[in-house]
Amino acid sequence: MRSDVIKKGLSRAPHRSLLKAIGYTDEEISRPLIAIAHAQNEIIPGHVHLDKIVEAVKTGIRLAGGTPVAFSTIAVCDGIAMNHLGMHYSLASREVIADSVEIMLMAHAFDGIVAVPNCDKVTPGMLMAMLRVNVPGVLVSGGPMLTGRFRGKDVHLVSVFEGVGRVQAGTMSLEALTELEDAACPGCGSCAGMFTANSMNCLAEAVGLALPGNGTIPAVSAARLRLAKHAGMAVMGLVHENICPRDIATRQAFENAMAVDMALGCSTNTVLHVPAIAREAGVDLPLAVFNEVSGQVPHLCSLIPGGPHSMQQLNEAGGVPAVMKELLNTEAGLHQDVMTVTGKTLRENLQGVEVLDHDIIRSVEDAYHKVGGIAVLYGNLAPDGCVVKQSAVAAEMLVHKGPARVFDSEAAAQEVILDGGIRAGDVVVIRYCGPKGGPGMPEMLSPTSAIVGMGLGKSVALITDGRFSGGTQGACLGHVSPEAAEGGPIALVAEGDRIVIDIPNKTISLEVEDEELDARRAAWRPPAPRITTGYAARYAKQVTSGATGAVLKE
């Protein structure tokens, strides 16, 4: 066992003494030591209940003959961090999470790991650590929140963000917004809908590093606790068979996950996280691969925020396994011989699986769209690409041309939007919000939700070198690369310039002559950093482009 280095032999008597100080018996010390890396805390709804998930994982590990050892790491709630200084620390937290889990696994020589995250950066951060250290491991999330009910309709966190715009537009009262605020988030779990957290928890399942059901079983369901116990048992099987994360997360497995991404219409943040996770597995996933997969995989599920269906309904329809079973009917199919944390191949896992509700998971022949949920656009405004959730864009906005309304910060844009200064046809440009310029590539849920709430969702586009929440809908193009802080073309856009967006043809263009752009480039100077001390300042100096997953430089 890997943990023998800290517990066997004469020279390890001091090590054993320290373990016994905690209360471990000789019998417990002799068994495989399994880390449980969790992010339970009392500030994030998706994490407040993870102590119960951890206890269930411990039960599973003990049932299978191991000794569980839990430790915690940090987590950021993107919703609470939104639209203020805190958002600069959200994406940046992914690297701290990965590093902290790596440190704990390496320092204490664990034989395996069960990762217990639930929210946006925590799931990818823990997956990165699992692949980096490469000891047998399973991820089990805390599960999605149920939707709330407001005046006979399903609601969720983004409903409240959009409500702010509705109040400003005069179509909702403050009293109604307060009622909505009380109802939208009814309890624990990652925010209801195919937002980033649930997207990544589904893709962890699709890549094979989490058990079937991980992405969709509700947080409050007893089935979630049973899944956590099975995760504890599963990691022991992986330890005995010496099946490690890199044996599972191969190029073929990532292609399967990307296919599920397209079929579900996941968050655009997956285009940041999946390449970053793959990099830890030694797998190169250039941005262009997303377009290749999107061209082969239809969009099968219309989930919140782009559609009406909830995570609970997706679970009842068969969840990710049912989506994968339906994807076998596409021309490209899936790689079925890949290994998974069940100890079986995907082919074996899908035996007997079927779609239980074709209204929720459509057949390939009856897909919502013939192409996948995400598109990468290129052009003189984004030479290295930008990303849009095309499944959440209204048909009339798939091709759009309009004047640029240019802002050098999210706060400046939000003020003008809420003051009614944006008109139908405009293209809102928010720049200096990339990984370096933000720093931390802040999400733009507040301005995008305000645009929708004010009735402009089908007539206004928004582009940024920052990123969007998984809750964003509409013609919102993020991750514009190179970013403004690096002198990318988005830094050269002037108020009133015409911008042409053509999502079907994967292009985004700035209608300005090259000579004029050259003159603007010669006059351009980078702005002073927004944050000059602490972790965010160090992060800004080390981070790479959004086009490469915003990973840190070697």
- Residues noted as catalytic: 469
* Cβ–Cβ < 8 Å for 379, 507: yes
**439 is written with which tokens?**
């720093």
Q: Which of 209, 399, 361, 385 is nearest to 291 (CA)?
A: 385
Q: Which residues contact 55 (CB under 8 A, 6 or more apart)?
A: none
Q: Which of 411, 443, 396, 439 is nearest to 526 (CA)?
A: 439
Tokens describing residue 188: 């624990």
Contacts of 505 (CB under 8 A, 6+ apart): none
Using an 8 Å Cβ cutoff, are 53 and 140 in contact?
Answer: yes
Mind spelling out the 3-state secondary structure of 326-371? HHCCCCCCCCCCCECCCCCEHHHHCCCCCCCCCCCCCCHHHCCECC
DSSP 227-267: HHHHHHHHHHHHHHHT--HHHHS-HHHHHHHHHHHHHHT--
Q: Which three-class secondary structure state does DSSP give residue 433?
A: coil
Supply the DSSP string of 45-91, one letter for each residue: TTTTTHHHHHHHHHHHHHHTT-EEEEEE-----HHHHTTSGGGGGHH
124 secondary structure, DSSP code:
H
Taking the C-alpha atoms of residue 215 and residue 227, their distance in angstroms, rounded to an integer, is 11
Radius of gyration of the chain (CA): 23
Count Cβ atoms below 10 Å from residue 414 Cβ, excluding itself. Answer: 20
Which residue bears the tokens 């030479």? 383
Please count the other Cβ atoms lying within 10 Å of the Cβ belonging to residue 186: 17
> Which residue, among 219, 182, 258, 198, has the nearest Cα to 469 in the 3D structure?
198
* Residue 133 to residue 103: CA distance in whole angstroms: 9
What the block records as the tokens of 494 is 């002037």
Q: Which is nearest to 144 in space by CA: 116, 114, 119, 181?
A: 119
Token pair for 373:
């949920």
Q: Strand pairing of 507-510 and 498-502?
A: antiparallel
> Residue type at 125?
G
Tokens of 233: 């048992």
447 CA to centre of own chain? 20
Tokens (6 digits) for 370: 């013939």
Kindly state the tokens that stand for 195: 């937002």
Specify the DSSP class assigned to residue 542. H
DSSP character at residue 426: -
CB 358 within 8 A of CB 329: no
